Structure 1
Amino acid sequence: MEGGARAPSLEKGMSAMEDAGIKREEEEGEGADVLVVDDEPDVANLIAMNLEFEGYRVRKAHGGRQALEEVARKRPDCVLLDIMMPEVDGWEVLRRLKEEPETAGIPVIVVTARNTDMDYLKGLGGGAVDYITKPFDTGILKAHVARALQERDRELVEQAREDRVRRLQLSALRDITEKLISTLEIEDILEAIADRLLTLFDLDICALCLPDPTGRRFHLASFRSRFPLSRREEGAFDITRDRIAALAGGDPFPRGGLHAISSGDFAGDEVAGVLSGLRSLHLLALQAREKPVGVIFLGHREEVSFGEQERELLAAIGNQAAIAIENARLYDDLRYDEEVHRQLLQRVITAQEDERRRVAMELHDGVIQNLVSAAFRLQLCSARLENDPEEARRALLESREIIDAGIAEMRRIIAGLRPSILDDLGLSAALQKYIMRLQEETPFNIHIELEETGIPPLTTEAETALFRISQEALNNVVKHSRCRRARVTIGVEDGELFLRVEDDGVGFEPPGAQRRMARSYGLVGMRERAESLGGTMAVESAPGEGTSVEVRFPLYAVTREE
């Protein structure tokens, strides 16, 4: 229900030219049939009295349903339409008038207390020829009615309406774009989108869902609601892409745009509360660089349909939102990678120092002590050679044993730095030996297969990188996957050398812009090794679906000449 006319107030944008033409237009419009629709009798009577004084034939309707009945009974020449009315509101009356060919040509002037940009856009975009806000000046009201009734002015009125719609669209789009480009923080961007859409389109619920790294499931990332939602209701927005497609009547991402969905089907029988009370629910699919980046759910507790101009504005906002979300994700990835690289570099430096310290201690406590002991035995041998040849011989044999132990210790230390079997037998044999040892030492039953076909001669750097990547990936399989079978595959495909380590274990959610694995240095280290030789690494995993780690290298970067 809206307030009636009070103190005169000129509508924004009314030109002096319109004031000067009031009298001529009033005279030319005399006798026209005007339908005044307002649920407040005092306001309807005030408008009717002023129009009847100018010679118009006026009918009154005190609600949307009565207005539609009056139009069906007799087609009016012009309709003055209030918006906030019970049962059937003005938006619904306007929609029904404009969708029927017999009534689409009736000029409709919205007369309402609603005065936001989106209200103007909804009214003018819905087909109204003019929009007047309460309280209004009766002289201006009569001028608008006279102008709407003039056939020769219809084209100019329609052009002015379209211009105002475009200005409103640009104004709303500029406002939300300024908010989106003011930050690269994903949380701030999501909040700005939800807040602005809730206000702009007078929503009851606005929920934004972002995809997981697989793109098969969307999780609630931000939402705004005029009413509190239960945890179960919030959980309804954690939804699979297949279910989104089912609700929208097909995959909405290739098509884009706005899709009306059934709030009952969305909430389901098990979810009660605000969601079950929604009478309108729409889905806006967000896509950037030809891939889904999110979904926006728009909910109303009243029956609402979006007009063409509103759909165009929502599509434009959706495009801006998708670009902003994707840019924020890329920025988040970059910032995360820089932090991980910084910490990884620090770990490398620390590891180098630890390794040097370990090698120094092992050389000091093992090899050097053996050499010192052997030197003492050789001195004893030299001293007793003439007087006690038998003791000298025993000292010499002991020296040999000590030196042999020192050699074995040195080989062990060297093997820790680089497996000697890589140099002796190559990558396949080194991996097979490592897999056998891993299966023997693992406390549970696990079967690991190695498949290799047509591996060309590789550079030393490539063999080391592939061995270390396999080693780290298999260690992760044993530590985390709880699998029964794993496979290591090495081969050549499409001009690239590939290494794939896959298991049938519990899987995990790979690190993404919204959900990072804490301290995922193993994955980062493998990726660093791959990229150091011009390769790439991809991780595919999902809870309960196992894990696959694959690295690929251009053949020219890893093969050596015979």
Structure 2
Amino acid sequence: MTSRKDTTSGDHQLGFPRAVRNLHLRAILDSLDDQLMVIDQDMGITEVNEAFLRMHGMKSADVIGRPCYLVSHGLPEPCSSHSCECPAPRVWESGQPVRVNHIHQTKTGSETNVRHIEIIASPLRDSQGNIIEMIELIRDVTELRRVQKQTIEATQNLLALGAIASTVSQSLDLDTVLNLALDKVLTLMKANMGGIMLKDEESHVLSYRVSRGVSQEFVEGVAGLRLGEGIAGKVAQTGEPIYVDDISQDSRLSRPVVIKEGLRAFASVPLRSKDKILGVMNIASHTPRRFSHQDVQLLTGVADQIAMAIENAKLYHEVQRMADTRGQLLYRIISSQEEERKRIARELHDETSQVLSSLAVNLQALIDALPRHPKQIKTRLGGLQAVAINMHDGLRRIMYELRPSLLDDFGLVAAVRWLTENRLDTAGIKVHLATRGMERRLPIEIETALFRIVQEAGNNVIKHADADSISIALDFRENSIVACIEDNGQGFDPDQVMISNKRRGLGLLGMRERAELLGGQLSVHSQPGVGTRITAEIPVRQEVSSG
């Protein structure tokens, strides 16, 4: 660089070197933990503090007057490398403070020690404002950089774990969860090979459930991996992760299928839920890789998240399985009930109803054959006939409530119309029945379910609603059938009814279950004082929609 000389000795006497001879200022400078160095425009050192001397193991006489680059770096000329930028030229030219960072490397045997040094260089001016010298504050920020790096890594890990948690919470389907999690892990690790192996709870062997970047031959080659076999097997057996920088260098770990796949770096982490190992997560590459402390922390945290997601997915699957089993059992029970209703109704019709009809006819014949007999006998026989007729009518009503033959013979609309005329009308409730869409016969299980829903809703109106009108709408849509029952009664709180009125609550639950068993849904909208609307929708497959 071009040296810049002091213009006058008077200016130099007004500069910093004269000021530091003051004992008070000297004490202040020597009390600093940071190193301090003052250099002139020829890059010669004019002043240093005790921290500088301690750092370099020198005395003041060994430093003053010598070039700064020779004392600080042992170089024959000013610093010029990118890692050790000299701040002096920028200070001389700009007249402004300059901050630079130096990286100092020293070797101790085979180890390389790296130190990060921060230098703040500021101009010193005379009374006329001319720059006469430069002061440098030199601070070792290695520990600060280490803490900053750890903080950044910890933040990145937390963000990564948050991303994984968000990813695996998007679904309760096991395969969806594992695929999403694996893709996220590979992205975070900047890797393109990996997989998740799950342990079979009965055979206790490992197999890949999802994988990326490896051949199908490799996946099949390690299927049924026993505990303790290979890296993944050892991890699943011990519950301890294994990180290998280059698997090809260890013949104990490098199995033929691994060699053929060309795997080098390999990390295998257990998927642990409480004290149970659910499987392992593997990350690999075709090139060697040193897994850092951050990598280890990240993979451990991710594995915990995935294990929790696996457990949740399994629990959800078990709940779904139990719900399916319950649904199948409930469907069988309801089907059996309907068959039993049909059987009882048929037997009542074939036997009891016919007997009562015959009894009524014979009683009428007796009455007709006794014109000359006492009036009292006719009266008693007439009473018996009335009893028989009433019993017959009641029996017919019971048979229809058990299983109206209209439902089997003519379908849903006819059965609902009979229900409104013989149950709701007779109870003094005005009924409006409407159909929309193309009226048609539906599968008998759908017609039965909707008829029972309308029947239960009607019974609730009669018993509880204190209503004087009800509307029933049957909407035949292309792919579904919708029944809507609405009354103008006193309404109720559905949640409260489920708790306080078990019988009525079971009726509502039964309606909902009938709809859901057929893939449909049922909603109840009601509140005290505004009536009730019950809507049931059941899907209908087109191929079975015609009668």
When normalised by structure 2's length, the TM-score is: 0.39
Structure with higher strand content: 2
* Pair member with larger Rg: 2
Higher relative contact order (CA 8 A, sep 6+): 1
TM, length-normalised to structure 1: 0.38
